[in-house]
Structure 1
Amino acid sequence: MYKSIFIATDASKNALRAVKEVIHLNCTDIHVTLVYVKDARATRDSILHDEESISHKEKVLNALQESIDFLEDNDIRYEVKLLHGEVHEVLIEKMNNGNYDVAIIGRTGKSILKDLMIGSVSKKMIKAANIPVLVVN
């Protein structure tokens, strides 16, 4: 059924649940691409030095380690892409142009009503998707 799976991650617990959802798809010989996007707005007013950039990359990889461990423990092939830009724009571009069969995203609303809403990035991805999108609660 699904062979190539796109997972948008922010290294949160919701994103980890999205990674773990792969097991419930009951697919064999799959390849997962974990995509993390550093928000361009966070660095727009400052220039990152190489050391800061490397430090951020290490922090992200450490935060993603639980997801990576899960994939490795379940013999799931994967790759990690650490990107930079407007989060929703980069995720949508990569999701729609990456030859994926399905996207899995965590629901991460950041408003007061976060338990009732899907996050704005998730909503934008769902609206723009050319592939099925599974939203994990």
Structure 2
Amino acid sequence: MYDTIVVATDGSADANRAATHALEQAEQHGAELHAVFVVDTDRHAEPALSSMELETIEVEEWGNDELAEVAERGDAVDVEVTTRCCHGKPYVEIISYADEVDADLIVLGYHGHSHSKGDQIGSVTDRVVQNAGRPVLVAT
């Protein structure tokens, strides 16, 4: 049913649950799994030789660590995981990447680190669901 799956992570508990679901689906369907982390350029400025450069680099390194963890979890269940860390608006980058790899499914957490209201869907997840034009599994 699924040949290519994209999972987005920000390291939050819901994103970790999303990674679990994505790995299960990839294993079950023999699908390619792509994990993406987006450095939100609205929250973290693009590097420009300033103090923000250090913060952006730290967020990118943290994102790469989160992606490496998803890849390690994939190795444990014999699922190869392709990772990408990029910069931009998270929902735009997630949808663009899903388009690029022609994903059959996008898997996201209900909300991420920046979401403050626990009972409402996160803004990134909501925007992906509204605009992806493909199935989206939301992990809670």
TM-score when normalising by structure 1: 0.83
Report what 1:134 is aligned to: 137
Q: What one-letter code is carried by the residue in structure 2 that aligns with 1:135?
A: V
Over 3 Å counting, the alpha-carbon distance change for 1:68 and 1:24 in structure 2 is closer
Report what 1:6 is aligned to: 6
Over 3 Å counting, the alpha-carbon distance change for 1:13 and 1:92 in structure 2 is same
Report what 1:19 is aligned to: 19
Query: Does structure 1 conserve the Cα–Cα contact (< 8 Å) formed by 2:5 and 2:33?
Result: yes
**How many Å separate the matches in 1 of 2:62 and 2:23?**
26
**How many Å separate the matches in 2 of 1:28 and 1:93?**
23
Report what 1:87 is aligned to: 90
**How many Å separate the matches in 2 of 1:30 and 1:48?**
41
| C-alpha RMSD over aligned residues | 2.4
- The C-alpha deviation readout for 1:87-113, integer Å capped at 9, x for no partner, is 1221222223431111110011613x3
Match among 69, 72, 76 for residue 69 of structure 1: 72
Query: Does structure 2 conserve the Cα–Cα contact (< 8 Å) formed by 1:16 and 1:66?
Result: no
Report what 1:44 is aligned to: 45
- The C-alpha deviation readout for 1:5-40, integer Å capped at 9, x for no partner, is 011111222111111113543623211100111011
Over 3 Å counting, the alpha-carbon distance change for 1:121 and 1:72 in structure 2 is same
> 5+ unaligned residues in a row in structure 2: which ranges?
none
Q: How many residues align?
A: 134
Over 3 Å counting, the alpha-carbon distance change for 1:2 and 1:20 in structure 2 is same
